[in-house]
Amino acid sequence: MKKQTGMLLATLLALPVLAQASCESVKADISQKIIQNGVPESGFTLDIVPNDQVDQAGGQVVGHCENDTQKIVYKRVGRDDDSSVPDSAGSSQDAPAQ
């Protein structure tokens, strides 16, 4: 009986650590998928935020963890200065010479 109680106690104490590790592993998986799609690692951030703080975090929710109590939020980095110009716009160097 004492062994069962000890095992139960150890399991209960380990749950928060396992839950956090699962969020980190989900975040790592999502990060790898984004990088494989051609986005440089320095071009984005992923943040783990509680559900009630998602609106303040900004960005786009790309995943969830801890029984859907935490969200993983994606934000692009370093594109604010040229975000008003679409990628397809090109530059004056692309225009044919007259």
pLDDT in tens, 43-76: 999 999 999 999 988 899 999 998 889 999 999 9
Q: pLDDT band for position 96 (50/70/90)? A: very low
Global confidence as pTM: 0.60
**Token couple for 54:** 């998602």
Strand partners, 61: 73
Contact 75, 47 (CB under 8 A): yes
Q: pLDDT band for position 98 (50/70/90)? A: very low
Using the structure block, give the residue that is written with the tokens 């370093």.
Answer: 78
Burial 11-40 (b: 16+ CB within 10 A, else e): eeeeeeeeeeeebeebbeebbeebeeeeee
Return the pLDDT at 53.
93
Question: Considering only CA atoms, which of 50, 46, 44 is closest in space to residue 24?
Answer: 46
Give the contacts of 67 (CB within 8 A, at least 6 positions apart). Answer: 19
Return the pLDDT at 91.
38
Once rounded to an integer, what is the mean pLDDT over residues 68-92?
Answer: 64
Delimit the domains of the chain by residue range: 2-80
